[in-house]
Chains A and B, each alone.
Chain A
């Protein structure tokens, strides 16, 4: 099929990218100027990735980003579509605003590809799934320094296309903090004598530790830790242990991404609340 929308001057570029996506990225079939969802502008090329994300490519005659790129991004985000968008442009057409355009692309989560007149491809930056890019990150400065590195790693992992692992990093931070809090409560004898068999604070299951504290802690003696806050810790141990299932359809992928975004944001909030509640505990 030939292109109907794309300007003829950009056809060789699109053909080169199509070949690259097929040969180097293993994407197939690559559709040309087809709908990805109702009322969403058609990308010039698109293909379904293994993770049910949609890899899209649009082309510009120079490196300058026009408002149409932003419109496409905004539409995909508002429709929660798992789209990763590349913008391809001819090598050598970089304008003075190229640096600004690249920053703009990064902020939008859009990848950039330059294509030489001989059809060789240079991926200048990789895109992130647009639905993921809208996540509300925690402000690392609100956390003590020892948390900041892991927080940043969680966000980057999430944004770079692995939201399950991104959530996992935060869950692990909460789990580690929970265990330290449990130890502290135990040594300070703030927990009533274990009513059942004492859990192993280092190696026991996270749920058991959290649940035992919930049932045995006299929350009046540790006023910073409220019962509702601790209930949230217990609640989060369930998704922590859920194995992530690979979505089989785009609809499943959209649903999963929505859930993961909520989980990532909720877990981040919980971690911040726990850190704030125990900031003077030396944990």
Chain B
């Protein structure tokens, strides 16, 4: 990656001459993480040196921001550090992606905010936009994380700021999460694809969903997954006109819940499809069973099922 960590020298550096890396996408540290680490460092000292590069008379962190913060808090004068040469911009960012993101310490927005810069620097280096596999190889992120990041990157800036603001709040005061925005974006995209022209103002739709989530009209993220199911009403043989009108109500009225919209339109159709699918599965399984090999409990369950089916069919006119 353009710098060789094996050339690094181990030194005891003054804590005050170390600075956080401006390229570090990690914007926030959970206090709980720091609490535990601080206690450990107070007891046993810094066991693993931090990684820095020299920049004039200062040192810039590559790895070990939490250890450095704890050292500052504990008022330690010096910390052990591996000092490397200054890396290139791209190497600097990629180093941090590989060091931190792989440890799953970063929140997704942290990565998403920095990803466009990585893509731009990669494009500058190779003269063409990187393909997904190249991004995976260079950043150490998996495909799913990259796709989730892209959903966050594509959010209009006002919503990214809203999310950032939320993530800066203490956990107890947080309501909106990265997962919420990802689920919302996926749901809206599916709705747009399944019913083109349904959403004429996407930001208005976003605002309504956010408001409903904050007010508890949308109870949890699972509710958001019902939106694409309503939009795909045609696939389960439900009334698409009715589904479209329910979606419009959901995306424009503050008190109409997604759950209610689902119940009013496609819930029964999905239940029926589910029953048919299960019956098909059971029938397929039964075809594999020899009557002589049937265990007593299977036999009993089948007889119960038979009675129920007969009762049900008997009441059908």
Contact = CB atoms under 8 A, between A and B. Distances in A.
Given A8-B27, A92-B173, A117-B173, A66 B75 contact: no
Interface in A66-80: 66-68, 71
25 contacts: A4-B69, A7-B28, A8-B27, A8-B168, A9-B30, A9-B169, A9-B171, A10-B170, A12-B168, A33-B73, A42-B72, A59-B31, A60-B35, A61-B30, A61-B31, A61-B170, A61-B172, A62-B170, A68-B38, A68-B39, A71-B39, A90-B170, A92-B172, A93-B170, A93-B172
B29 A8 contact: yes
B72 A4 contact: yes
B72 to A, nearest CB: 5
A4 B27 CA distance: 12
Contact of B75 (A9, A41, A68): A41
B168 A62 contact: no
Contact of B173 (A8, A39, A67, A90): A90
B305 interface: no
B172 A62 contact: yes
A40 interface: yes
Contacts of B31: 7, 9-10, 59-61
A7 B253 CA distance: 38
Contacts of A90: 169-170, 172-173
Interface residues on A, range: 20 to 34
Contacts of A62: 170-172
B74 A41 contact: yes
B44 to A, nearest CB: 13
Contacts of B169: 9, 90, 117
Interface string B61-76: 0000000010011110
B interface, over-half SS? helix
A35 interface: yes
A61 B31 CA distance: 6
Nearest to A89: B170
B75 A4 contact: no
Interface string A1-44: 00011011111110000000000000000000101001111100
B226 interface: no
Contacts of A42: 72-75
Contacts of B27: 8
A217 B173 CA distance: 73
B34 interface: yes
Interface in B57-111: 69, 72-75
Interface residues of B, number: 25
Interface string B3-20: 000000000000000001
Interface of A: 4-5, 7-13, 33, 35, 38-42, 59-62, 66-68, 71, 90, 92-93, 117
B42 interface: yes
B32 interface: yes
Contact of B69 (A5, A35, A61, A66): A5
B171 A93 contact: yes
Nearest to B29: A7
Contacts of A41: 42, 73-75
Contacts of B72: 4-5, 33, 42
Contacts, number: 76
Nearest to A37: B75
A62 B39 CA distance: 17
A71 B168 CA distance: 27
Closest 4 CB pairs of A and B: A93-B172, A90-B170, A61-B31, A8-B28
A199 B124 CA distance: 100
A68 B35 contact: yes
Contact of B42 (A38, A71, A117): A71
A39 B20 CA distance: 23
A243 B30 CA distance: 50
B75 A38 contact: yes
Interface centre among A10, A62, A68 (most CB of B within 10 A): A68
Nearest to A60: B31
A157 to B, nearest CB: 33
A55 to B, nearest CB: 18
A35 B30 CA distance: 23
B178 to A, nearest CB: 15
A4 B20 contact: yes
Nearest to B172: A93
Contacts of B20: 4
Given A5-B69, A42-B73, A117-B173, 14 more contacts: A5-B73, A7-B29, A8-B27, A8-B29, A9-B28, A9-B170, A10-B31, A41-B75, A59-B31, A62-B170, A66-B35, A90-B170, A90-B172, A93-B173
Given A7-B30, A71-B39, A39 B171 contact: no
Contacts of B35: 60, 66, 68
Contacts of A71: 39, 42
A152 to B, nearest CB: 36
B137 to A, nearest CB: 31
Contacts of B172: 61-62, 90, 92-93
Interface in B159-188: 167-173
Contacts of A61: 30-32, 170-172
